[in-house]
Amino acid sequence: MTVAQDQPSALNFECETGNYHTFCPISCVAWLYQKIEDSFFLVIGTKTCGYFLQNAMGVMIFAEPRYAMAELEEGDISAKLNDYEELKRLCLQIKRDRNPSVIVWIGTCTTEIIKMDLEGLAPRLEAEIGIPIVTARANGLDYAFTQGEDTVLASMAHKCPTKAPKLEAEKKERNAVSSLLNFGRKKEDVTQQESEYKDHQPLVLFGSLPDPVVTNLTLELKKQGVKVSGWLPSKRFTELPVIEEGYYVAGVNPFLSRTATTLMRRRKTKLIGAPFPIGPDGTRAWIEKICSVLNIEPQGLEEREAKIWEGLEDYLQLIRGKSVFFMGDNLLEVSLARFLIRCGMTCQEIGIPYMDKRYQKAELELLEKTCKEMGVPIPTIVEKPDNYNQIQRIYAQKPDLVITGMAHANPLEARGINTKWSVEFTFAQIHGFTNARDILELATRPMRRNNNLKELGWEKLVKEEAKI
């Protein structure tokens, strides 16, 4: 203890200029429209927004996506056209062509600046056309990348039913996850299964994850006797979970602070502040925390975690003792750094767009604890980083791996610095025990590539230009 006090033992937070590269938060449309199958996302913005989505979503754009731009024209900006009438016209067209169960309006920078009252227009139009409208201000003035999902889920939290329906049949339909898990079983079996769950306050999880990951995490909790009453979001808008006052909620992703706040303040739920289920260490801590809040003694988690680590050994050999630098763009950075440090890496810097110290409290504590246990220095957390400064630090520190956006990846590679493109962590399946391999598959890819190519001696592929 005394020794530890001589070194900086607490996390060090810094804040830079905010000149960094990240995706616009409207990109959340790309994964949310696929997650919520009966939704339609309407991004109300300009050509700039459309161009970004079209390029960022790549081939998805050609698959008749359930998203479109409401492209603002000069008449909209100067208020020559009536916002309500224009939106009504487009929403009716969407209703006719696609018949969605919900239309999500994504407000952008432009709607903010011209102060288009989307929240005010939505209820009126909703009543007129008969389709629920959810409004989310996912704009680049206020948010970065994954925070877009946060704004959408926070709005959606308001649309969750307040009271559990009385009828058993309806309840089953409403509860997508449990009916999925009970699929094909007789009713007696289902009742018998219900008894496998411990008696606890209802728990709703929030955060959009691919369905296989949802099933996986739900089963993981089921092993502990924890019943997941629902997920925000569900596969369909019509299956949004019931949220009553006093329910417990837990987040699965580190960027969901607004959603957490909304669930606590507006829906009167109790938030279980836990580290996030990323990496086997995170997953175990997440389950343990949920169990402890629900007064359940967790069973066999230690063995489960150890078993997973055992299976990772081939990957761990590649990264043990290596250093990693997070430039920061998707808010997964703290959880990923904590996991990679547990894997035996050292971390020099954790860049992050926005740090909610309250929502991420448990994760930050686990990071600190992990550093101490692994005997490595505690990294600096740089909020709103400055990419130019970061690149100077990267040149100086020469990390073995830089986790960064695509704008910097190729130029860094050309200078002999290994990179992993950060956005892949957003789209890959990285949650739970089972997916730990996937994270390392991504993180070790440049190392494995290097092993394959190391004989060639082609590391630096740019000519040094004399600086004036």
Partner 1 sequence: MKLAYWMYAGPAHIGTLRIASSFKNVHAIMHAPLGDDYFNVMRSMLERERNFTPVTASIVDRNVLARGSQEKVVDNITRKDQEESPDLIVLTPTCTSSILQEDLQNFVSRASMDTKGDVMLADVNHYRYNELQAADRTLHQVVKYYLEKARKQEQLPTGKTEKPSVNIIGISTLGFHNQHDCTELKRLMAELGIEVNEVIPDGASVHNLRNLPRAWFNLVPYRELGMMTAEYLEAEFAMPYVDITPMGVVETARCIRKIQQVINHQGAEVDYEDYINNQTLYVSQAAWFSRSIDCQNLTGKKAVVFGDNTHAVAMTKILAREMGIQVVLAGTYCKYDSDWFREQVSEYCDEVLISEDNGEIGDAIARHEPSAIFGTQMERHVGKRLDIPCGVIAAPIHIQNFPIGYKPFMGYEGTNQIADLVYNSFTLGMEDHLLEIFGGHDTKEVITKGISADSDLNWDKEAKVELGKIPGFVRGKVKRNTEKFARDRNLSEITLEVMYAAKESVGA
Report the candidate in 396, 422, 425 with the shortest Cα–Cα distance to residue 407. 422
CB atoms within 10 A of CB 450: 14
Maximum C-alpha span of the chain: 80
Report the candidate in 134, 124, 70 with the shortest Cα–Cα distance to residue 100. 134
Sign of the torsion angle spanned by Cα atoms 257, 263, 266, 271: negative
**Cα 149 to chain centroid, rounded:** 7
CB of 452 to partner 1, least distance (A): 19
Specify the residue, 142 or 373, whose C-beta has the smaller distance to partner 1. 142
Specify the residue, 54 or 292, whose C-beta has the smaller distance to partner 1. 54
CB of 108 to partner 1, least distance (A): 9
CB of 189 to partner 1, least distance (A): 35
CB of 167 to partner 1, least distance (A): 34
Specify the residue, 211 or 386, whose C-beta has the smaller distance to partner 1. 386
CB of 88 to partner 1, least distance (A): 10
Specify the residue, 282 or 405, whose C-beta has the smaller distance to partner 1. 405
Report the candidate in 371, 312, 382 with the shortest Cα–Cα distance to residue 345. 371
CB atoms within 10 A of CB 271: 18
Contact of 31 with 57, CB cutoff 8 Å: no
Report the candidate in 72, 91, 81 with the shortest Cα–Cα distance to residue 133. 91
**CA-only gyration radius of the chain, Å:** 23
Residue 83 contacts by C-beta under 8 Å, 6 or more apart in sequence? 76, 116, 117, 121
CB of 401 to partner 1, least distance (A): 18
Paired tokens of 74: 């000069």
CA 253, 255, 261, 267: dihedral to nearest 10 degrees?
A: -50
CB of 74 to partner 1, least distance (A): 5
CB atoms within 10 A of CB 425: 20
Rounded to 5°, angle at Cα 299 from 294 and 305: 110
CB of 394 to partner 1, least distance (A): 12
Q: Is the peptide bond before 379 cis (omega within 30 degrees of 0)?
A: no
Paired tokens of 375: 């005997």
- Residue 422 per-residue DSSP state: T
Give me the residue label for tokens 């299976």. Answer: 311
Specify the residue, 10 or 63, whose C-beta has the smaller distance to partner 1. 63
CB of 402 to partner 1, least distance (A): 13
Specify the residue, 117 or 170, whose C-beta has the smaller distance to partner 1. 117
Report the candidate in 61, 58, 77 with the shortest Cα–Cα distance to residue 69. 61
CB of 37 to partner 1, least distance (A): 16
Specify the residue, 122 or 203, whose C-beta has the smaller distance to partner 1. 122
CB of 136 to partner 1, least distance (A): 15
Residues 422, 455: Cα–Cα separation, whole Å:
27
Specify the residue, 42 or 271, whose C-beta has the smaller distance to partner 1. 42
Specify the residue, 65 or 344, whose C-beta has the smaller distance to partner 1. 65
CA 85, 87, 91, 94: dihedral to nearest 10 degrees?
A: 120
Give me the residue label for tokens 């390392």. Answer: 440
CB of 468 to partner 1, least distance (A): 5
CA 313, 317, 318, 323: dihedral to nearest 10 degrees?
A: 110
Paired tokens of 260: 């957490």
Specify the residue, 19 or 299, whose C-beta has the smaller distance to partner 1. 19
Specify the residue, 381 or 391, whose C-beta has the smaller distance to partner 1. 391
Specify the residue, 217 or 423, whose C-beta has the smaller distance to partner 1. 423
